[in-house]
Amino acid sequence: MEFSYLNDKDLLYFSKHILLPTIGIEGQQKLNTSEVSIFGLGGLGNLLSTYIASSGIKKINIIDFDKVEETNLQRQINFSNSDIGIFKVDAIENFLNNKFTSLQIKKYNKKIETKNDVMSIVSNSDIVLDGTDNFQVRKIINKACVEKNKKLIIGAVEGYTGQLMTMVSSESPCYECIYEDLIDSNSCSDNGVLAPLVGMISSMMALECINMLTGNNSSFDKKLLVVNGLNFAVDSINTKQNKSCKICNN
């Protein structure tokens, strides 16, 4: 296999990745040629976008319709006071382009309302990352990824609790399997969010994405990870497909 596009600068920049036996040059090549989509640029997507770009993933789709508010700054640490009032996709695009080179960022300043909104964005994505903050939107993204057969990593934080799950294949339980008939259009942030826990879950989402893209196994396929930020309790709950699921077993 030819690695000519990993020039001397790339080899130096990604040297700590390349030294890892589970990544190496071939794994770094896979990262550099992958495409991911990040839905939601709030607490999770904010930091997640940085780790995705710093890993070497060049093609990044970012999706959010919100503007930066002062209350975001406490947990969405890539934003600054000068970003208040501008769209989050614009602020993150500027932040990433100033920090990393050779990125191909596509930004979508839109509210996700139908599965077609998602399908038009993720058609070429290797992995979809869901950092949105309400059940309704997560279910729309989940449905689109099931129909498009896209790998999906879902993170969520509310209060002191963080959650993480991954849908790898048609044999994986989907989000609807786990949260059947659960509907809540409110934002998670309406109920409070422990800021460092947002960083923890977003970092774990990035790790899961990097591991999967470099050919390593998913850590959260057929599992629901639940982290309690108040007492550091971590539960890994085995999950399975709901045979009556209206999304993945329809």
pLDDT reported for residue 180: 83
CB atoms within 10 A of CB 27: 22
Reply yes or no on whether the pLDDT at 187 is more than 80. Answer: no
- Let me know if residue 250 belongs to a domain: no
Domain of 88: which CATH number? 3.40.50.720
- Let me know if residue 26 belongs to a domain: no
- Let me know if residue 224 belongs to a domain: yes
- Let me know if residue 194 belongs to a domain: yes
Give just the sign of the alpha carbon dihedral 243, 186, 116, 34. Answer: negative
Reply yes or no on whether the pLDDT at 188 is more than 60. Answer: no
200: nearest Cα among 161, 168, 142, 237: 161
pLDDT reported for residue 4: 44
- Let me know if residue 24 belongs to a domain: no
- Domain coverage including residue 210: 34-238
Residue 214 burial (10 A CB sphere; 0-12, 13-18, 19+): buried
Cα Rg of the chain (Å, integer) = 18
- Let me know if residue 13 belongs to a domain: no
pLDDT tens track for 108-119: 999 999 999 999
pLDDT tens track for 240-249: 999 999 999 8
The tally of domains found in the chain comes to 1
Reply yes or no on whether the pLDDT at 2 is more than 50. Answer: no
Reply yes or no on whether the pLDDT at 3 is more than 60. Answer: no
